[in-house]
Amino acid sequence: MFNKDKFDYKVLGINIFSVLFIIMSIVSWIPAFHPKESESEKRALKEFPTLTAETFFSGEYFSGISDWFADTYPLRDMYVALNTGINSLLKPSSVQIHGDVQQGDEIPTAPMQTDETPATVETSADVSQPTGESTDTSESSDATDATTESTPEVTDPDMTNVPVEQLGALLIVGDTAYEYYNFVQSTADKYITTMNRAGQVCAGKANVYTMIIPTSMDITLPQSVRDTVTNVSNQQDAINYMYGSINGVNKVPLYDTLKQHRNEYIYFRNDHHWTALGAWYAYLQYAEMRGGPHANMQTDFTERTFSGFRGTFYNDSGKNPALNNPDTVYAYTPNATNHIDCTQKDGKPLSWNIITDVNDWRADSKYNAFIGGDNPWSVIVNPNKSDGSAVLIIKDSFGNAFTPFLVPDYQYVYVLDYRYYKLISGNKLSQVVTNYNIKDVIFCNNISSTRNSGLVDALSDFVQ
In a domain, 13, yes or no: no
Q: In whole angstroms, what is the distance from residue 387 CA to residue 403 CA?
A: 19
Q: In whole angstroms, what is the distance from residue 88 CA to residue 198 CA?
A: 47
In a domain, 303, yes or no: yes
Higher pLDDT, 120 or 196: 196
In a domain, 265, yes or no: yes
**Over residues 56-69, mean pLDDT:** 72
Give pLDDT tens digits for 72-119.
767 666 655 555 455 444 444 322 334 455 667 888 887 887 655 443
Phi, psi of 192 (to 5 degrees): -60, -50
DSSP secondary structure letters along 11-74: HHHHHHHHHHHHHHHHHHT-GGGS-SEETTTTEEPPPPPPP-HHHHHHSHHHHHHHHHHHHS-T
**pLDDT for residue 118:** 42
Give pLDDT tens digits for 131-175.
333 333 333 333 333 333 455 555 665 545 555 444 448 899 989
**pLDDT for residue 101:** 55
**Over residues 219-232, mean pLDDT:** 90
Higher pLDDT, 230 or 458: 458
Give pLDDT tens digits for 237-275.
999 999 999 999 999 999 999 999 999 999 999 999 999
**C-alpha distance across the termini of the chain, in Å:** 77
| Cα three-residue angle 135-194-202, rounded to 5 degrees | 65
| Cα three-residue angle 453-38-427, rounded to 5 degrees | 50
**Over residues 171-190, mean pLDDT:** 93
In a domain, 385, yes or no: yes
**pLDDT for residue 80:** 56
Q: Where in the sequence is the domain holding 253, given as residue range(s)?
A: 164-463
Higher pLDDT, 65 or 4: 65
Give pLDDT tens digits for 6-50.
556 677 777 777 787 787 778 677 777 777 765 544 456 677 788
**pLDDT for residue 79:** 58
In a domain, 168, yes or no: yes
The answer to whether the CB of 73 falls within 8 A of the CB of 34 is yes
In a domain, 147, yes or no: no
For helices 453-463 and 185-201, the axis angle rounded to 10 degrees is: 20
Q: How many domains does the chain have?
A: 1
Give buried/exposed letters for 2-39 (b at 16+ CB in 10 A, else e): eeeeeeeeeeeeeeeeeeeeeeeeeeeeeeeebeeebe
In a domain, 419, yes or no: yes
In a domain, 50, yes or no: no
Give pLDDT tens digits for 357-380.
999 999 999 999 999 999 999 999
**pLDDT for residue 399:** 98
